[in-house]
Structure 1
Amino acid sequence: MNSMVRVFLIIYVPIVLALVPLVYFSNGIIIEEAQQNLMNDMEDKWTLLASMHWPLEISTDTHQQVRHISHETGLRITLIQRDGTVLEDSLVALEDVTAIPSHAHRPEVVNALAQGDWHTTRYSTTVNMDMLYYARMLDNERILRISYPTAYVDDLRQSITQRLFVLLIFLFALIAIISAYLARRISQPIQRLSYIAEAVESGRDSIHFPDFRDPTLAKISQLMERIFRAMTQKQQLLQDEQEKLESIFTVLEEGIILVDHEHTILHYNPKAEHLLGVALEIGSNLLRDSNDFEVITFLSQILDSGENALWEKRIFRERVFEINLRILPQEKLIVLFDVTEEDRYERYKTELVSNISHELRTPLTMILGYAETLLSDPDIPEEQRQKFIRVIFKSAHSLSNLIEDVLELNRLEQTGRTFELAEPLPLQDMLTTLQERFATVTDKRIHYHIRHEQSVWCSYEHILSICTNLIDNAIKYSRGQNITVTIQRERDEQVQIVVEDEGPAIPAKERERIFERFYTVSQSRNRNRSGTGVGLSIVKHIVQAYRGTITVSESAAGGNVFSIVLYEKRPTNKCLA
């Protein structure tokens, strides 16, 4: 509600509240006075009627004269003897007057006999309506009674009330106009000052300061203008400094949260929101206003420390953080640094060195052992010498394959999904390459179901690596004679690769682990033909690079079915340009 409306109501409402009862009581007084005037008028008319000649026997002429007067004045005129016998009634035919019941017990008659005259209002059984009566004794001991229908009085009261109501409406309108005028004159300066205050409070850059005729208001306006100019300059300086600070905080790799000792957020950077996975808001409570129980627990453990602290490794939502807490005089500063990749890389290096050391030990031991035997015994038979040399060669070849697989896996982990293709791959090229590569395999029959007429937006090296590793895996471990390879482009830019062998089937509990580095199911597979344990891990990384899926299931024949779905890497518009 603006100031003008408030001032208007302050002026208008009290006047209206005072005017309504005043008009109400005035209406009562006027109606009362009108009724009194009516009674006085009835008395005057009674006096005029009493001056008429009233014979002892009412003649037809007298009756006609009385009825004429009654018609002209609206009065009912009744002449009554002392014993209550009605001699004349202006509303009844002369011949019917004698049929009127005795009026001896009528209140106005009784009181007129007792006191000389009387006023009353009652229902008339003769004319069947409410009447206002006035009765008085004549000199000849008869009673002259006149009456008005109360409808006349009601009409009079209604007429007065309607006129006063119209007057009241007029007064309401007049008072509203005057109040609105006064409210505008009074509230306009207040509205101007209010506009200035609201504009300053809202932080507007440009504010119009109006002129005031009143000297006091003019001084207030000038003072507010000077304060506003000074505040604007200070605010601009603070804003410039804040923008510099925001720019610095935004580019930081660390998440930063500054709170007071009540844990109210004073400042934060977007990196903090990203690391915690929640939306932060300056002015909200870091702990109470969050609905995330994990975040509350994590931050509570940090903020509960009453002194400067550094946590080198704290795990939160499968991420590893280095956390630095600084206790300032009025605030607490939390610095979050995501060291997940560094921690993962450290564990990866440790695991890789351990696995490589383990995997290299077997071929190196065989190479060194057989080489030492050949060197120490120059007279070894030629057949056995050739056997030892073949073992050394096979072990060296395994060692070379292991090194190549490890390098390929490392390259895939470094590349991830950040690669682009210049042109699609014709599946005919892939069919030709696979047929040439596995042409020397004689103990297995490889059946190719490749849609050679199709082209897919996938890397030639990636598809070849997937197929080669899966086919090699089937050749090494399958006891059956048939291997089926299917490659085709499906709808929604999907590429399906399926390699099926004839078993033995990989146990269900092992199907997730076979994609780990250096993991082989040697207990249930061919021990003599075990691989490096890296091939399926390479396949998994390639599938992830295409945001695809890979599943292993058991076929109807008891073999293994490796099913892969890749999403094509079509070039973006930017790349095409």
Structure 2
Amino acid sequence: MLRSIRGQVTLLLALPLVTLVALWWIFALKDTRGHLEDETRSNLSALSASAGALVRLSGTEPESLDRVLGHWASDTGVRCTVIDRDGRVLWDSQVPLEGLPSLENHLTRPEVRRAFEAGEGYSVRRSDTTGVEYLYEARRVELPGGPTVVRVSLERNRFEGVLSSLRMRLLTTLGAALLLALGVGTWWMRRITGPILELARTADRAEAGEDIPLPPGGPNEVRLLGLSIRRMARRLNRAMEDLEEERRTLKGLVETMPVGVLMVDRQRRVLFFNDPMSDLMRSDSPPGTPVEGAVRHPKLMDAVDQLLKGGQVEATLTQSDAWSERHYLMRGVGVQGSAVVTVQDITQRVRGEEALRRFVSDVGHEFQTPLTVIRGAAELLRDYALGDNLMLIDRILEQQRRLTDMVDRLLLLTRFEGGDLGDPRELDLADLVRRAAGDASWLARDGEVQVELSLPHEAPVRASAEMEAAVRNLIENAVKYVRSKFDRSPGGLVKVTLEDQGDRYSLWVEDNGPGVPPGMEEQIFQRFRRGDQHRSRSSEPVGGYGLGLSIARGIARAHGGDVRLEWSQPGVGSRFLLWVSKGLDKK
């Protein structure tokens, strides 16, 4: 009741009236009682003076007093008592003459004692003679036989009746006023709340797209509210229509995408998945199915659990059956407690990479025999060659060594891309970095390039011996490009930093070389791709094959890590990051 406007306004009307009645009852009736009592005492004082005058005329004989004061007491409606100096009752208008001797001594009465002492006394008390509460007024009268007290009294309930009548009239008047106020207030509130309630009932129809009618009545403010709600409902309906259209468009777009999409809400229920995701889901999984009962692949289930806690996921997974094996690239993100996962079928790419690795491996092994024969034949001819023939044979041997080195690097890269770690053992990564930096110092041309190291004392890691090749390629690549930029001038700098980050080590190689050209941030990690394609290999005495970064990334990934370009700015420099898992618990 009090939560509604009608109840609150009713309370607002009733509370002041009830408070007014209570205050009037407490203060006004109390003042009225006091005024009545004062007025009654004043009247009693005048009556006691009249009675005293009559006593002076009649004397103190009981018969004379009864004859003179009897009619007077009856006419005035008061009780009159005459008391001598000893406290004996000489006459009482309510006690027969024969009963006077049995009355108590009245000197103990406060008003009588006060009258003898001060000439006039007043009290309000219950009469010991009649048992009724009176207002007493006593006055001393000087007579020849000595002082006498004349006392007049009036029953208190005579003006209590006046007060009761006043209370009843007050309650009747205030009750009528309260009912009238409540009636008028209720009628007035209906004029206000009626249109508001009608608006509330019709506002629900806006959800169905219906127009909200204006309230039939009510004050201007309510009509303005109705107009505002009506405009808001129209805008809401248009927004809902646009949203529904966008939802249908998005759903159609997602359903026709070649990428699988899965959406899971924060209550772990499946909201949506499209056909390309069906291979990883159970077919009988309508929207609202718990994710545990809908997802078939355990790795996808683990990814959903992780995303529901927040963060991102990127991994590959494999789905196998009796006839085929398919590979997927899975990416996911957690959004406000929900999870969105996409999977892309990369089976063809994986098969192509596997075929390429087999081809490179087969061709590399096939190349080793003719390259060995060429080297043997060239070395034999070199023993008998003279003049220009000797120079040509040295050129043949140089190119044979380059081809042999390239084949060895390709075979190494193919092996690590296939996940072959060889024979892992415990190594000191800090020592590998020191050796690689020292071996790269011959490229610096007598201090043209400074190599600064920031390494821990030791960095134990479980890895294969080829980890040194990954570190060496990264550092030598930085030194080579810094040297090419400064071209025999001082100022070249390569900073190598190794940090322990809990379960892994991070190696940063930062240089102030030419940087990586825009658009080639990922291409430099591909086979035979270099960051300085504008230069020919022949112009660089230590020219490479574009395999160094590919080999470094392949070795790092085989060890549960990766290599990436963290930062680069043309003409300013670049920073590469290599990180690997410690792997000390995998023995």
**Interval of TM-score (by shorter of Structure 1 and Structure 2):** 0.3 to 0.5
Normalized against structure 1, the TM-score is what? 0.45
